[in-house]
Structure 1
């Protein structure tokens, strides 16, 4: 008998729509996966965001994950552009692999792109674990850093990384190594979260790249990344999403006949 998948929803909330009970529930999840995750700092950081995606399990009516979102003006090659900053992201382990939050993020990106048709839109991401890094490399073709350094479109994005890191985190940005180091009291992933096994390292070039560029990730250093959110990129994501769903349905159908 095939186990039922959980009924999930992911909704975007402007930061002024986030209630105190929601904040406490999100902090509880955050505290389960991160070290140095005190409530006061969590609330202060959350207050600086534009909004948050909230992932809920509709069966038991509780929050099981979230991801923050902030829009900011940036400059790219001398022209005004929009940066979409993706900050703290965490999903309970039982729900890893679901696409509800990915889809909500993509829809919000579509809205932002359509509102700014004449400007480039970039996804700004800092990654202290390989899972976040793969979220970008697996779903957005034009990104930096990249395992394809000869792709000039990818390499050109280095400018964006330097720009937003110097603007947001001048005190923590190590420009030489392109890492953000917030010190020993920064919230690092707990030891059981996002571990990298030898087989994972051997089989996935992007995991190799992440670990090479951020060798101190276990103590909380962040790898700054960027990807261009173009209309082609959004079409690519939704095609991939729909193909994946058809594949999963076909596998389930095959098992039901076995």
Structure 2
């Protein structure tokens, strides 16, 4: 299946009309309460998108990136914000997103090695949260808190307040929007409850019990080769050999 797919990192401004339409179709297939206008408005706030395409050049998945959105970076760190991440259901299980994402992240963090990078992620569903234990040794929130938990929690709070203001509920660790920004389709909500046998899914449901209403769990991890699990680390290092040229 993976042989039929490719991952391409492109700038948002270079996405053509048909690809944008297809990206919205994929979003609409998984989420309620979204419109094409709001989707495009949000997309235009990002700088890059990783596109998964099939042999016919049809978009079958994507993940978006915003670098230091709303001046979230400060003197001592940079922020990589992952936005929407979608894969067409028939391609669930593909490794192309993993490989492409890790290499893309490596290219991005290599653009500025003068200060640390942090990955800021909003998890509206358990599938998104699962990226954390799949890729990282240390992250927040985690089933097994580490010595860096308080620092990660502090940085997550700083970023969340800058981006979302009063919608950031610090004590709960979630973003609760005044108006829905999209809610998972019912069948995907049920899929989360059906996977409660996984300790990570149980933890996600505990931390974000109102995920079915579109509430988002704030997550964060240090983007450094030493914090990646072995399977992802080599891919990140490969990406770091080809740094993007960014104005940061």
* TM-score (structure 1 length as normaliser): 0.84
C-alpha distance in structure 2 between counterparts of 1:197 and 1:236, whole Å: 30
Shift of 1:74: 4.2
User: Is this contact kept in 2: 1:106–1:234, CA < 8 A?
Assistant: no
Taking structure 1 as reference, are residues 32 and 6 closer, same or farther at Cα in structure 2, changes over 3 Å only? farther
1:238-253 matches, cutoff 5 A: 238=232
Other structure's SS at 2:230 match: helix
What is residue 206 of structure 1 aligned with on the other side? 200
**In the alignment, does 2:40 pair up with 1:43?**
yes
Aligned length: 232
User: Is this contact kept in 1: 2:77–2:116, CA < 8 A?
Assistant: yes
What is residue 169 of structure 1 aligned with on the other side? 164
1:39-78 matches, cutoff 5 A: 39-58=36-55, 60-72=56-68, 74=72
1:77-88 matches, cutoff 5 A: 79-88=75-84
Per-residue CA deviations over 1:76-108 (Å, capped at 9, x if unaligned) read: 7xx421111001111111111112122121112
User: Is this contact kept in 1: 2:73–2:79, CA < 8 A?
Assistant: no
Other structure's SS at 2:114 match: coil
Larger radius of gyration: 1
Shift of 1:156: 2.1
Question: For the aligned residues, what is the CA RMSD?
Answer: 2.0
Which structure has more relative contact order (CA 8 Å, sep 6+)? It is: 2
What is residue 217 of structure 1 aligned with on the other side? 211
What is residue 20 of structure 2 aligned with on the other side? 23
Question: Residue 14 of structure 1 is aligned with which of 8, 11, 21?
Answer: 11
What is residue 236 of structure 1 aligned with on the other side? 230
Question: Residue 138 of structure 1 is aligned with which of 134, 137, 153?
Answer: 134
* TM-score (structure 2 length as normaliser): 0.87
C-alpha distance in structure 2 between counterparts of 1:193 and 1:10, whole Å: 25
C-alpha distance in structure 2 between counterparts of 1:238 and 1:178, whole Å: 27
C-alpha distance in structure 1 between counterparts of 2:167 and 2:229, whole Å: 35
Consecutive unaligned residues of structure 2, counting only runs of 5 or more, are 236-248
User: Is this contact kept in 2: 1:110–1:234, CA < 8 A?
Assistant: no
Other structure's SS at 2:18 match: helix
User: Is this contact kept in 2: 1:74–1:80, CA < 8 A?
Assistant: no
Shift of 1:154: 3.4
Per-residue CA deviations over 1:117-171 (Å, capped at 9, x if unaligned) read: 221111110001001001112211110001112x112342001110111011113
What is residue 96 of structure 1 aligned with on the other side? 92
